[in-house]
Amino acid sequence: VILSCIDSRSPAEAIFDLGLGDVLSVRVAGNIITEEVIGSIEFAAIVAGAKLVAVVGHTRCGAIESSVTNYCCPDQSLVPECVHARGILREVAKVVDEDDCRGVAASTIEAQQEIIDSVARRNVVRVVRKLLEGSEALTSQVQEERLGVVGMMYDVVSGEVHVIDETRHGV
- Per residue in 10-69, pLDDT (tens digit) is 788 888 888 888 899 999 999 999 999 999 999 999 999 999 999 999 999 999 998 998
Q: What is the pLDDT of residue 17?
A: 85
Q: What is the pLDDT of residue 9?
A: 73
Distance (Å, rounded) from C-alpha 150 to C-alpha 41?
A: 13
Model pLDDT for residues 75-101, shown as the tens digit of each residue: 877 666 788 888 898 999 999 999 999
Task: Please name the helix (run of DSSP H) or strand (run of DSSP E) that holds residue 138, with its range, or none.
Answer: helix 136-143
- Side-chain half-sphere of 38: how many Cα atoms within 13 Å? 16
To the question of pTM greater than 0.85 for the whole model, the response is yes
Q: What is the pLDDT of residue 78?
A: 65
Kindly indicate the confidence band of residue 117, based on its pLDDT and cuts at 50, 70 and 90. Answer: very high
Q: What is the pLDDT of residue 81?
A: 78
Give mean pLDDT, residues 105-134.
Answer: 93
Question: What are the CA-CA distances from residue 139 to residues 27, 45, 103, 146, 149 (Å)?
Answer: 21, 11, 36, 10, 9
50 Cβ contact partners less than 8 Å away, ≥ 6 residues apart: 1, 24, 44, 147
147 Cβ contact partners less than 8 Å away, ≥ 6 residues apart: 45, 50, 51, 52, 53, 138, 141, 170
Q: In this structure, are strands 161-169 and 2-4 parallel, antiparallel, or unpaired?
A: unpaired
Distance (Å, rounded) from C-alpha 72 to C-alpha 57?
A: 21
Question: Of the candidates 48, 46, 6, which has an alpha carbon nearest to the alpha carbon of residue 23?
Answer: 48
User: For helices 98-106 and 109-134, what crossing angle results, to 10°?
Assistant: 160
96 Cβ contact partners less than 8 Å away, ≥ 6 residues apart: 67, 68, 71, 72, 119
